[in-house]
Chain A
Amino acid sequence: AQKITQTQPGMFVQEKEAVTLDCTYDTSDPSYGLFWYKQPSSGEMIFLIYQGSYDQQNATEGRYSLNFQKARKSANLVISASQLGDSAMYFCAMSTVTGGGNKLTFGTGTQLKVEL
């Protein structure tokens, strides 16, 4: 079975600072993908970044980077130069090829608040 754990219910960061949102995962499948989504208060889910289990380098997308530590089974999201518009709920998710039937398993989310 797949499991995603996000241990930070809420985080605060000052504008222009960097912030790390934690995510650990558990799976026995050697082939898997890790995802981060942003959910503003309006409710839609916005895809941010993807990391494959066999990718050699950490994924980056603009101000977002994924700190992938395979041995520790962690996939933390780093947001650099935070902006007020980054205030939202952030979900970590995982997909596996075999055991999960290619479905996404989501964590419980971290509410990020960016302050002036």
Chain B
Amino acid sequence: EADIYQTPRYLVIGTGKKITLECSQTMGHDKMYWYQQDPGMELHLIHYSYGVNSTEKGDLSSESTVSRIRTEHFPLTLESARPSHTSQYLCASSDLHSGSAKNIQYFGAGTRLSVL
């Protein structure tokens, strides 16, 4: 059973607003990830972190930014939301060991963002 939490679950916001999507995990995992997913489509990695003070861009370019000040917390921020940011955002964590392909990622429930 994974213990990874995302808030808010749903967010409707106007264009130009700054938003932060929260993600926390209680499993002590070093690796954390953010994915973007449009309805019925595949997941695209937008950010990841291999530990405190480590953040990397993912495969899909995103205007969002992330930070990793504490192991358990990996928030995602959009400085100025636009309708094109409307999507589901999924956070995940894993206890991946170097040299292993067994990267089982445990996901939060997701945040469904709608920008008007």
Residues of A near any B CB (own CB < 8 A) = 31-33, 35, 37, 42-47, 50, 52-53, 89, 91, 95-97, 102-104, 106-109, 111
Contact = CB atoms under 8 A, between A and B. Distances in A.
A35 to B, nearest CB: 7
A35 B45 CA distance: 16
A102 B90 contact: no
Q: Determine chain A's interface SS by DSSP, over half rule.
A: strand
B104 A43 contact: no
Contacts of B102: 33, 50, 52, 95
Contact of A108 (B41, B90, B109): B41
A33 B103 contact: yes
Given A102-B96, A104-B105, 13 more contacts: A31-B101, A33-B101, A42-B109, A43-B90, A44-B90, A44-B108, A44-B109, A45-B43, A47-B105, A96-B101, A103-B58, A108-B42, A109-B40
B103 A95 contact: yes
B48 interface: yes
Interface of B: 2, 31, 33, 40-43, 45, 48, 58-59, 88, 90, 92, 96, 99-110, 112
Contacts of B96: 102
A106 to B, nearest CB: 5
A46 B90 CA distance: 12
B97 to A, nearest CB: 9
B40 A95 contact: no
A103 B45 CA distance: 8
B101 A52 contact: yes
A91 B41 CA distance: 10
Contact of A95 (B42, B88, B90, B101): B101
Given A31-B101, A96-B101, A97-B101, A47 B106 contact: yes
